[in-house]
Amino acid sequence: GPKVLQIPSHQIIDMGQMVTLNCDPVSNHLYFYWYKQILGQQMEFLVNFYNGKVMEKSKLFKDQFSVERPDGSYFTLKIQPTALEDSAVYFCASSFMGGDEQYFGPGTRLTVL
């Protein structure tokens, strides 16, 4: 199926530092998403993004979080500053239309020490 790429696959940082997670979505997709999965728990929606704007966000999408996709490059999730509870696997997804099939990347495992 369509491929979503995520860079890096793992990231270890100290609490309080900034981190940027990168996503290369499917080329013709217009909607982009971030989900968070803590070990052993279900995937939780963070945010979706369309036409340069955040469309929806959950309560997990704290003020320290931001997303952007400058000029069709990577779709990024930035956390500044990080907290211990941000440790999780973050999955990027994309879809052609909202409410359409969402395709997920392999995830970035973030460890905050």
Partner 1 sequence: QQQVRQSPQSLTVWEGETAILNCSYENSAFDYFPWYQQFPGEGPALLIAIRSVSDKKEDGRFTIFFNKREKKLSLHITDSQPGDSATYFCAALGGGTGSKLSFGKGAKLTVSP
List of residues contacting partner 1 (CB under 8 A) = 1, 4, 6, 31, 33, 35, 41-45, 48, 55-56, 58, 91, 95, 98-107
The enclosing H or E element of 15 equals none
Pick between residue 18 and residue 38 the one whose CB is nearest to partner 1.
38
Ramachandran quadrant class, 72 (left: phi over 0; alpha: psi -120 to 50; beta: rest): left
Shortest CB 24 distance to partner 1, Å: 13
Q: What angle (nearest 5°) sits at the alpha carbon of residue 106, between those of residues 104 and 107?
A: 95
- When the beta carbons of 5 and 18 are compared against partner 1, the nearer one is 5
